[in-house]
Amino acid sequence: MALATDSLSSAIRAFVAVIEMCLRETAFVEDRHLYLDDLAAANRWLTRLGAGEAATSIAAEIIAPATAKHFTDYWRQGVWGDLESTALETLQRAIRQQL
């Protein structure tokens, strides 16, 4: 089954919503730039999808080990880092189920 652009876009938007919540709720100013960087990366995926890039290409990037390392390396950030890590795992699982 081919990965649908709409489905991937929806899954990424759900991930973006979690990052936005983490950014809004964190009490640590020094963590905000990390969430802003993550938000920018996720929004780039949406922009590329909107520009017509193949969903499978973006999905491959999202499920790549380097992406997991980037988005889940938040062991010092407590509950908000854990929440973002779980959201990425959810996004990756949704993608793998459709590939």
How much is the pTM?
0.91
Contact yes or no for 14/42 (Cβ under 8 A): no
What average pLDDT score do residues 65-82 get?
81
Cα(69)–Cα(7) distance, integer angstroms? 24
Q: Using the predicted structure, report yes or no on whether residue 75 has a pLDDT greater than 70.
A: no
CATH code, domain with 38: 1.20.1270
Q: Which domain holds residue 72?
A: 5-98
The confidence score (pLDDT) of residue 79 equals: 85
Which residues have C-beta within 8 Å of that of residue 36, sequence separation ≥ 6? 23
Please compute the mean of the pLDDT values over residues 12-36 and round it to a whole number: 92
Mean pLDDT of the chain: 90
Q: How many domains does the chain have?
A: 1
pLDDT for residue 27: 84
